[in-house]
Structure 1
Amino acid sequence: MSFDWDRRHCARKGHITYAPDEPGLHRKLHTSTAVGTAWRCLRCGDFVLGEPHGSGPADQAPVVPRGRALRDLFILRFLAVERLLRGILIAVAAWAVYKFSNSQNAVHDLFEKDLTALKPVATHFHYDLDHSPVVDSIRKTFDYKHSTLQIVAALLLAYALIEIIEGFGLWWGKRWAEYLTVVATAAFLPLEVYELTEKVSWFKIATLTLNVLAVLWIMLAKRLFGLRGGAAAFEAERRGTSLLEVEEAAGETHPPLPVRSRSAADNG
């Protein structure tokens, strides 16, 4: 059984109705019932009791995502949430690096003090803290210059802002955000591949796979960089799936569809 994206979205967000000025379209989208007038929802196609949300020429009607466009918007919003969460985590990392750069000596002294206290315990378990790879890696960070750490913090903050901007743009389905996501994500793919050559982990593999799939899907589905006809073909496809365009192309009246109460649908 196929998933009905249109009715699912209308059940959650409510219907959208419109009264076009063109007599032919007006008749197809309007009906009278025993309990009042009803208009067809531009998304799911069901008749909804009550006055329309808007009116005017058909070419000025809102372009309501439906069908495949609505499914694509759902995928974009999934990617948007992932970008927003990643941006927040990177921003926290940038703040931590900045704070560390301003308290480097104090943190170093505290680390060495705690390390000295742990040495008897480590010796009991035959573990050499002085030659531990983990301890050596931490000690190396204390040798970084203050200016270097601040540059790292600034770069991390810039990266976080890019991810957050991507997230908000993708959530609202902005085309510029799709371009930004493809370019920014593709730019970091070589670094992710290099990290895998250093050390393989399931998290790194999953992240790389998600980013590659996201880049390919956005480029092909949204026809970026002239692919599959480019922006003109994308707009034609988007408008071609709207209910008004479908009705205008059909040229004949559809059989009556179920009539739904606006209040019941909007509260669903």
Structure 2
Amino acid sequence: MSWRPFAHFDRELRTCSRTGHATYRPDEEDLADRLQVDTPEGQAWRCLRCGCFVIGEPDAAGPADRAPTVLRGAALRDAAILRLIAVERGVRGVLLLLLGYGIYAFDGSRHALQQVVDTYLPLLRPVADRAGIDLQTAGPVRLIERLLHTPHGTLVWVTVGVLAYGVLELVEAVGLWLLERWGEYVAVVGTGVFVPLEVYELLEQVTWFRLAALVLNLLAVGYILWTKRLFGIRGGRAAFEAERASVSLLEVQRAALDREVTDAGRRRVRREDPDPAARSGATSPG
């Protein structure tokens, strides 16, 4: 027996348990009849997400074409993944803004930091020597010394760049969390622009962190491009909307209703004309 821990996991039902059901009464009576049943407790309407019948008045009503878009199936799974990416982008954006502020604050207190380094670095050197650490080549010390000797103008541009990158990450986070298509485009373009820089840093020095960051970014870009059909991939937006509509409960019920009408028409034709081939032969000349 294969181990399938999520074999009975119902994503739609779990979402409804958190956010509530989504019921809708279409103005088309034949379609509305397929979405409601009478119970001893009153009318019950079918949830457009999980398919359960919910007793009480529907949340909204109107033409079927104006029914709210309710995510189901793969679309609901994609939404969860996009929001996970949005959280990561949001955390990264906040950290970048804090880093930008830190660089700005450092530039304003460069002299004070220089005094701290000049005062305490000689005091720490004997302790570091006993521990076998060369402070002159230690990463943090080299970074501080490099920053201390960086021109003011360069730090200003670095601050602006870091802050702009942080704002971009936050914009990505908002767009992805709201499941907006523009957010998906911003995420793909914003992430893809920095891939060459990440590759360059990886070629300069291979670290597990840099490698993992590059792989995760490439996976995120590829996933969004493929599943959301951006830039015309796999039919573009039209194919994406058609795919999402195909799993809509209203569309499924409408298709079933159309099939029933078509089948009923065919049965009626058969009853009225049980053997059209024989009749055609009987009426043909000579």
Please confirm whether the aligned pair reaches a TM-score higher than 0.5, indicating the same fold. yes
- Name 1:118's counterpart in structure 2: 124
Q: CA deviation at 1:138?
A: 2.3
SS in 2 for 1:129: coil
Asked if residue 181 in structure 1 is aligned to residue 193 in structure 2, the reply is: no
1:203 aligns with 2:209: yes
Q: Aligned pair in 2 of structure 1 residues 164, 134: CA closer, same or farther (>3 Å)?
A: closer
Q: Structure 2 residue aligned with 1:240, among 243, 246, 255?
A: 246
Deviation sequence 1:206-265 (CA, Å, 0-9, x none) = 111111011111001000000010011111111221111110011178xxxxxxxxxxxx
- Within 2, Cα distance between the matches of 1:122 and 1:77? 46
Aligned pair count reads 253
Take 2:232 and 2:137, find their aligned partners in 1: how far apart are those partners? 56
1:58 corresponds to 2:64: yes
| Aligned partner letter, 1:244 | L
Q: TM-score with structure 1 length normalisation? A: 0.90
- Could you say what the CA RMSD is over the residues aligned between the two structures, in angstroms? 1.6
Equivalent in 66, 74, 85 of residue 79 of structure 1: 85
Q: 1:131 to 1:31 in 2, by over 3 A?
A: closer
Q: Identity of aligned pairs, percent?
A: 50
2:95 is aligned to 89
Q: Deviations over 1:86-136 (max 9, x none)?
A: 101111110100101111111111112110221232344465534656533
* Candidates 143, 158, 176, aligned match of 2:149: 143
Compared CA separation, residues 239 and 107, structure 1 to 2 (3 A): same
Give yes or no for contact 1:102–1:146 (8 Å, CA) kept in 2. Answer: no
1:161 is aligned to 167
TM-score (norm 2): 0.84
Which segments of 5 or more consecutive residues in structure 2 lack a partner in the other structure? 1-6, 261-286
Residues 1:29 and 2:27 are matched in the alignment: no
Alignment deviations for residues 52-108 of structure 1 (CA, whole Å, 9 cap, x no partner): 000011011101111111111001000000000010111111010010111111111
SS class of match (2:153): helix
Distance 1:60 1:120, change over 3 A: same
Higher relative contact order (CA 8 A, sep 6+): 1
Residues 168-192 of structure 1: CA distance to partner in whole angstroms, max 9, x if unpaired? 1100100001001101111111111
Greater Rg over alpha carbons, structure: 2
Alignment CA distance shift 1:26-1:114 (3 Å):
same
**CA separation of 1:130 and 1:167: change in aligned 2, threshold 3 A:** closer
Q: Is the Cα–Cα contact under 8 Å of residues 10 and 44 in structure 1 kept in the other structure?
A: yes
Gaps of 5+ in 1: 254-268
Give the equivalent residue in structure 2 for 1:19: 25
Of the structure 1 ranges 61-70 and 3-12, higher mean CA displacement relative to structure 2 is found in: 3-12
